[in-house]
Amino acid sequence: MKDNQARLWRQLAGLSSLGITFAASIAIGAAIGIALDRWLGTSPWLTILFFIFGVAAGFTNLLKDLKRWGS
């Protein structure tokens, strides 16, 4: 019972971070892309590329966290 409850709390804590990490990943990807585009003058290609990287990172994190905390 005690163990179960501790596990539930840990799950709650872990799962409550899913959304914000997902959003932060995409934002960071886009920010890196925009910064690189400004620096190298290759607009808009790196923005698009790193935005996709950001989305991919978001989903990777999501899947990893779900694997760790789900069930």
Partner 1 sequence: MEHHPTLIQIPNFLGALGVPGAWVPEHVAMAWVVMAILVGVSYLATRRLDAVPGPMQNFMEVVVEMFVDLLTQMIGPKGKRYLPLIGTAGLFILVGNLLGTVPGFKPPTANLNTTAALAITVFLSYNYFGIREQGIAAYLRHFCGPILWLAPIMFPIEFIGHLARPISLSIRLFGNIFGEESVIAILLSLIWLGIPYVIYLGIMMPLSLFTSFVQSFIFVMLSMVYIAGAVQSEHEEHH
| Residues that bind partner 1 in the complex, under the rule CB under 8 A | 9-10, 13-14, 16-17, 20-21, 24-25, 27-29, 32, 50, 53-54, 56-58, 60-61, 67-68
Residue 70 is given by DSSP the state -
CA dihedral sign of residues 43, 45, 48, 49: negative
69: closest CA among 17, 26, 20?
A: 17
Smallest gap from residue 64 Cβ to partner 1 (A): 8
Which residue lies nearer to partner 1 by CB, 37 or 53? 53
Which residue lies nearer to partner 1 by CB, 38 or 64? 64
* Segments in 1-71 forming alpha helices (H): 2-15, 18-40, 45-69
Which residue lies nearer to partner 1 by CB, 47 or 50? 50
